[in-house]
């Protein structure tokens, strides 16, 4: 019997994930050991410090290119870039979460200032510091996302998928005012996510039968061997793709998105809209570019059809929405379609432009949901579009910021939305996917209508009695909004530094 040999482990390459998982475990111990009134500040500080420490670890590991833990984890250019993006976006999300306490309105209420409601309401909101258990859950989700984009075998990818998903299911149910809506959203997300995970795992089993292994390099080598079973290959790829397309909110696997975005606490929705999309597309890029590039001519038309369907569903149904969070949900679905156009370029520019798009969209959507958390009345967030009429007269600063973000979503020049769409469409044309670009341009024009309708409503309508006030943001929310808006402007005006960074990082290792 041979001696058992443990795989070599590069702890420097794994340090960002170890920091987040370690901090999350410490956060659980804090929940059990400290009195309730002290937990919130300590948990928030721990979450922010550990995220910053993990980001520093990613920066220090920028020159590492390795496959470690017996081939389970690959640390390369896309891994480090996407991990850095996840940590930056996660840090901004934590600022939004930290400013608010989970309260009864399906959202967080500002502990710093509330401009509506009685002093009793303010005291009650302050006495509910927001369930500090949300912070270790967020760290577990972020740690799972870091592992998800680094996974170099399908089983590790499945484990990472569950690690990032389970905390999100729980956090979607943490709203306390409209508890039934929040818990209904969490249950839908959990049930549909479980089915998607089951499809993914069954696909892994079929690919193992096809390739004789689950490492992405083994699958790549098997794909180029013509005598292997093509039935197992295509069935396995289809089932694995279903699991990833669900997480990325691509049609027809998008149906959970509007309900979950509407029912979840808004800062949690912001975390999902920004970070989960980065993780899902990071894993999709790795699988398609590393393992299945040899059958690109077979899956490109199918995924191209899904991209077109996603763009059409997101653009058309966004026009019919009357709730701001559902409007942003369908906007997220449409943007997932644009991202898939970049993925299907299947060239270096496609990889680089998709990573650029993920960062640009992440900052914009965090700023958008940050503003949504501030538009409130005595009953909580005022998300119905009719309530936003005349908001520009009552709060011109925040209406102006929201207008700028909506113009970025519409792809207006001098915003990150224009630059990112131009990048992915250019890469797609170079990759021979001009037909997808045509649909992308048409749906972008359709999607501009609901954005401009909100802008017209805010600025050209008279404020009524039902027009809510805008809460004065605290320091953390102000920081999050500033980062999101400045990033949206900077990536539209001077995108070259990030474009250069994505080009340098656009190389997978096998």
> Mean pLDDT, consecutive 10-residue segments, the chain of 510 residues?
73 94 94 83 93 96 90 93 96 88 40 36 35 90 96 95 94 80 90 94 94 92 82 93 94 92 92 95 94 89 95 95 94 96 94 96 96 82 84 89 95 94 95 94 94 92 75 88 96 95 90
> What ranges do the domains of the chain cover?
11-505
CA separation for the pair 52, 330 (Å, rounded): 31
Evaluate whether 395 touches 371 at the Cβ level (below 8 Å): no
Smallest CA-to-CA distance from 143 within 58, 237, 217 is with 58
Evaluate whether 142 touches 118 at the Cβ level (below 8 Å): no
Evaluate whether 442 touches 386 at the Cβ level (below 8 Å): no
The owner of tokens 């309105």 is: 105
pLDDT at 471: 78
pLDDT at 106: 37
pLDDT tens-digit map of 375-432: 887 767 788 888 888 888 888 999 999 999 999 999 999 999 999 999 999 999 999 9
pLDDT at 131: 74
Give strand ranges (E) for 40-79: 66-68, 73-75
CA separation for the pair 146, 421 (Å, rounded): 25
Burial class from Cβ neighbours inside 10 Å (0-12, 13-18, 19+) for residue 161 reads buried
pLDDT at 293: 86
CA separation for the pair 338, 320 (Å, rounded): 20
pLDDT at 259: 92
Neighbouring C-alpha atoms within 13 Å toward the C-beta of 493: 6
């Amino acid at each position: 019997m041979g001696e058992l040999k443990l795989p070599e482990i590069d702890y420097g390459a794994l340090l960002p994930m170890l920091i987040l998982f370690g901090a999350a475990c410490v956060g659980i111990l804090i929940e059990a050991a400290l009195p309730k009134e002290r937990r919130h500040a300590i948990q928030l500080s721990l979450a922010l410090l550990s995220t910053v420490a993990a980001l520093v670890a990613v920066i220090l590991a920028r020159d590492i290119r390795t496959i470690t833990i017996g081939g389970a984890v690959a640390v390369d250019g896309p891994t480090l870039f996407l991990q850095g993006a996840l940590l930056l976006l996660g840090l901004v999300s934590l600022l939004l979460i930290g400013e608010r306490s989970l309260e009864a309105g399906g959202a967080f209420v500002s502990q710093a200032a509330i401009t509506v409601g009685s002093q009793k309401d303010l005291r009650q909101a302050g006495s509910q510091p927001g369930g500090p258990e949300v912070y270790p859950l967020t760290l577990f989700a972020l740690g799972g996302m870091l592992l998800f984009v680094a996974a170099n075998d399908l089983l590790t990818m499945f484990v990472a998928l569950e690690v990032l998903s389970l905390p999100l299911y729980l956090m979607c149910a943490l709203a306390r005012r409209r508890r039934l809506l929040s818990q209904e959203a969490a249950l839908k997300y959990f049930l549909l996510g479980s089915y998607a995970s089951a499809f993914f795992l069954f696909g892994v089993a079929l690919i193992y039968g096809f390739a004789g292994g689950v490492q992405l390099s083994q699958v790549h080598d098997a794909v180029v061997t013509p005598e292997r079973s093509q039935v197992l290959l295509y069935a396995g790829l289809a089932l694995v793709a279903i699991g990833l397309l669900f997480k990325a909110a691509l049609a027809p696997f998008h149906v959970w998105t509007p309900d979950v975005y509407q029912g979840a606490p808004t800062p949690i929705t912001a975390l999902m809209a920004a970070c989960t999309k980065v993780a899902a597309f990071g894993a999709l890029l790795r699988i398609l570019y590393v393992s299945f590039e040899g059958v690109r001519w077979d899956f490109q038309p199918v995924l191209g059809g899904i991209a077109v369907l996603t763009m059409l569903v997101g653009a058309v149904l966004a026009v019919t929405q009357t709730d701001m969070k559902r409007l942003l949900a369908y906007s997220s679905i449409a943007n997932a379609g644009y991202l898939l156009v970049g993925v299907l370029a299947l060239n270096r520019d496609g990889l680089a432009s998709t990573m650029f798009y993920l960062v640009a969209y992440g900052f914009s959507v965090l700023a958008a949901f940050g503003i949504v958390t501030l538009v409130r009345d005595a009953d909580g967030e005022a998300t119905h579009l009719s309530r936003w009429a005349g908001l520009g007269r009552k709060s011109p600063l925040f209406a102006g910021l929201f207008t700028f973000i909506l113009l970025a979503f519409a792809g207006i020049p001098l915003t990150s939305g224009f630059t990112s769409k131009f990048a992915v469409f250019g890469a797609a044309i170079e990759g021979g996917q001009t037909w997808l670009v045509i649909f992308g341009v048409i749906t972008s024009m359709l999607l501009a209508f609901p954005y401009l309708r909100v802008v017209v409503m805010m600025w050209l309508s008279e404020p009524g009695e039902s027009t809510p006030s805008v809460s004065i943001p605290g320091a953390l929310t102000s920081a999050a909004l500033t980062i999101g808006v400045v990033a949206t402007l900077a990536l539209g005006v001077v995108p070259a530094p990030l474009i250069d960074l994505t080009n340098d990082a656009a190389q997978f290792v096998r």
